[in-house]
Amino acid sequence: MQPTPSPIPDNNVDPAFARFSQFIARELGIKMPPEKSPLLMSRLRERIQDLKLGGLEDYQRYLFELPDSSAEWDEFIDRVTTNKTDFFREPGHFDYLSGTVLPALAAPRGPTWQLKLWCAGCSSGEETYTLAMTLSEYAQSHPGFDYSIFATDISTRVLALAQTAIYPQAKIDPVPTELRRRYLLRGEGAQRDNVRIVPELRQKTRFSRLNFMNDHFGVSELFDVIFFRNVMIYFERETQQAVLTKMCRQLKPGGYLFVGHAESLMGLKLPLQPMARAVFRRTCTRFSGF
């Protein structure tokens, strides 16, 4: 992952930051304007100190000389990516999923069918397990329904947390009491301040690392529903178009895409029809972006 040399447009911008900014935008899709310089430095400062390096420029020189297989690249990505998530964040989406989307998808399939859902940009797993709770609740009242969840993120650190499925008690406040009883296990001993998602839900989820900037994602299956929420706010518009075009290839015709409430698809050329707030449905089998 070597940087591509390019001119630095602003003489007031630290050269090391400018090179990191260009690299992060190209390799991770994340926009890093000059005003984010203090943020980047704050995220890398501890690592620079751990390595006993003199500053950002020394760290950049050190990092870019390492092979792509070096664990330091994972460390760098973990530090520069933003991982913010909660249980039942933007809760109306989960109501819409169970009350509108699932019945609409079930209608042409008959009583026995399986939903395939992709939680893209899953962070530490709270959204993934919220989806698992929602789908399991639906399954209880709809015999014959089953589901699987594919969850991805670029950060190895948050994926490791998601796979443990262990969370502090303070994180579960948004989870309704009845769902806590059914789907959360109380910790004991050293884990008494934590909870863990029940095995039945963990078995329904599969976590994998994925970079949205990869040409083809490395995903072969098609999904009925994709949750891609509060991720593309970090992307430039051109990157949003490219990523969502690839994502639509993985969405079945008639399938649903959920994005964050603060995100807009206005002006993007995509085969998507708005259905509800930040919810879209794929409308055709082919489109010019393919």
Give the ranges where 67-173 is alpha helix by DSSP (H).
71-80, 92-96, 102-106, 126-140, 156-164
DSSP 33-95: -GGGHHHHHHHHHHHHHHTT-SSHHHHHHHHHTS-TT-HHHHHHHHHHS-----TTSSTHHHH
Angle at 206 between CA 155 and CA 257, to 5 degrees: 80
User: Which residue in 43, 45, 157, 249 is the catalytic one?
Assistant: 43
Residue 84, judged by CB atoms within 10 A of its CB (0-12, 13-18, 19+), counts as: exposed
Structure-block tokens of residue 119: 């939680």
Using the Cα atoms of residue 99, residue 102, residue 106 and residue 107 in order, give the sign of their dihedral: positive
Residue 27, both tokens: 């390799």
Catalytic residue among 14, 78, 153, 224: 153
Maximum C-alpha span of the chain: 65
What residues does 105 pair with on adjacent strands? none
Instruction: Identify whether 173 is a catalytic site residue.
Output: no
Q: Which residues are catalytic?
A: 43, 153
